[in-house]
Amino acid sequence: MGKIVVVENVTLDGVMQSPGTEDDTRGGFTRGGWAAPYADAVLAETLGKGVAADNAMLFGRRTYEIMQRSWGGRTDGNPFTPVLEGKRKYVVSRTQASFSWVNSVPVADLSALKRIEEDLVVLGSGELVRSLAAAGLVDRYTLLLHPLTLGQGTTLFGDLEVRLDLEETVVTGKGVIIAFYRPGSVA
């Protein structure tokens, strides 16, 4: 099995819901798009290194559908578009939905991930991340800690107890702390 790396935008109060768009309004969430004002060259360069790596993507169904609407078949010259189009995209879903975005592969359940030999990067997909964390399947977390609180929204770990060991940090010019963690042990 390849490694599973989670990459998440998170507020200081742990919210990860709808950072880049206003697509996820579950629970009456009204603050989508909160991460966009914090983008800068340092953030783009740091994340670009990970995106450019030889790996595949892993999504939950809802995030996959949002990403497909935003990036699938795009022709605007954005350098991220061909990267997303070219990568294999595994989608964990309980439904038998059709996944039509190029290079998409349905995954029936978490046990099937153990047969995938590629490294997998998870973007968004909070419900999936909580399931992966609970099953002990995450090898690394890259958390983009944004200097704001929202006071509402879905949090990354919900009610899970997750211990992390810090490996490295990068601080952007706009105050985002990019923290690289591995699953931790009890001290």
Is the Cα dihedral 59, 63, 175, 46 positive or negative? positive
Range of the domain at 47: 4-183
- Please give the structure tokens belonging to residue 121: 């990067």
Among 151, 137, 112, residue whose Cα is nearest residue 11 = 151
Ordered alpha helix ranges (H), 87-176? 126-134
CA dist 48 to 7, 44, 83, 93, 146, Å? 12, 6, 10, 27, 18
pLDDT average, residue stretch 82-103: 87
CA gap 128, 87 in Å, rounded: 19
**Which residue has better confidence, 30 or 21?**
30
pLDDT at 20 over 60: yes
Amino acid at 144: L
- Looking at residue 70, what is its pLDDT? 84
Q: What is the pLDDT of residues 36-75, one digit of tens each?
A: 999 999 998 888 777 667 889 999 998 998 889 888 888 8
Phi–psi pair at 4, nearest 5 degrees: -115, 120
Q: How many CB atoms lie within 10 A of CB 157?
A: 18
CA gap 36, 76 in Å, rounded: 19
pLDDT at 77 over 80: no
CA gap 23, 18 in Å, rounded: 7
pLDDT at 185 over 60: yes
Note whether 88 and 105 are within 8 A (CB).
yes
Number of domains composing the chain: 1
Which residues, 6+ apart, have CB-to-CB distance to 96 below 8 Å?
A: none
Please state the separation of Cα 70 from the chain's center in Å: 15
For position 178, which CATH number holds? 3.40.430.10
Find the helix or strand (DSSP H, E) in which 59 lies: strand 56-60
Q: What is the pLDDT of residues 130-178, one digit of tens each?
A: 999 999 999 999 999 999 999 999 999 999 999 999 999 999 999 999 9
Note whether 14 and 157 are within 8 A (CB).
yes
CA dist 3 to 59, 92, 103, Å? 15, 16, 19
